[in-house]
Structures are given as C-alpha cells and as structure tokens.
Amino acid sequence: MFVSAPGVHVFLFVVPFGRFTEKEEEMLTKVKQVFGKDVLKHVVILFTYGDECDQETVQSEIGRNRVVGRVIRSCHGFHVFDNKDQNNREQVNDLLQKIDTMVWNQGYYTSEMYQLAQITTFERFWKIHKNFFKAMIAFFQNMS
C-alpha cells in the first residue's frame, strides 16, 4: 500500500465470463473484510473470454445471474476483454480510461483507508473476544 502512493488506482477482479459464482462473491467479501467496505468502490470486475459473447450476452448474464448483478452493483462496474484479439489496444485503453474516470470521481484507495479498515477489524475482533471471556467468567461463576 505504501509503495503505491498516493494510493491504489483500482482493484481488478479478473474472472472468466460466464463463470462467476457465489465463490467469487465470497472472495470479494474477504477482500472487503481486509480492506474495508469502501474498497468495493475501487473494484472493477474484468471479465475475460469476451470473445465468447457479445454485449447483449453480457447484459443478459448480468440480468439473469443474481450473483453477478449484485456484485457489479456493489463494485465500480465491469469491463470485458476479448482474449483472442490480443493486439487490440483499444480494449486496454478503454479499461485505463474507465480507471482514470473512477480515480477522478472517487480518488485513490489510500493507506489511510486500509489502516482504518484494519483498526475496525481489530475492534470487532476484540469485542467478540471480550464478550466470549465475559460469558466464560459468568459460566464459571454460576458453577460455584
């Protein structure tokens, strides 16, 4: 995080098109747990194998697959790459433009955001353990 000053531009979540399941959604949940809930504003889903579908198919998949639709709505959108057209610089330029626009509108994901997420995670961890120890003490006090 500190090497990427002034902050991370984007978190690219790369998934082959048509293979997005609840497992991938769980991975994003773990990313959110580590980096904080605001990280999803900096996530772009990058679907690969775009050569196997057209724009209409992509929109249909988003509408049909509840998991895909839910994840895309919680993130900063998506982009589709055509793997067979590797010389197509336009698809790379389009992705970079999308990232630049996102950074312009929302700023970078900064180390301060990461540190705040870590503090929040530790506070949650401590609260759970504190409640556990209180319950254990109460249990043993009731035994005597």
pLDDT digits (tens, 9 = 90+) for 32-59: 887 787 888 889 999 988 877 777 777 8
Alpha-carbon distance values, 20 to 14, 50, 70, 97 (Å): 10, 13, 11, 24
Instruction: Answer whether residue 38 is part of any domain.
Output: yes
- Residue 32, domain extent: 11-143
Q: Whole-angstrom distance between the N-terminal and C-terminal Cα of the chain? A: 51
Residue 3 belongs to some domain of the structure: no
For residue 66, tell me if it sits in a domain.
yes
The β-bridge partners of 80 are 47
User: Could you tell me if residue 124 is inside a domain?
Assistant: yes
pLDDT digits (tens, 9 = 90+) for 5-16: 576 788 899 988
Q: Enumerate the β-bridge partners of residue 46.
A: 14, 79
> Structurally, how many domains does the chain consist of?
1
- Classify residue 131: in a domain, yes or no: yes
| CA nearest neighbour of 90 among 2, 29, 98 | 98
Helix (H, G, I), strand (E, B) or coil at 48: strand
Does a structural domain hold residue 39?
yes
Q: Is the pTM of this model over 0.85?
A: no
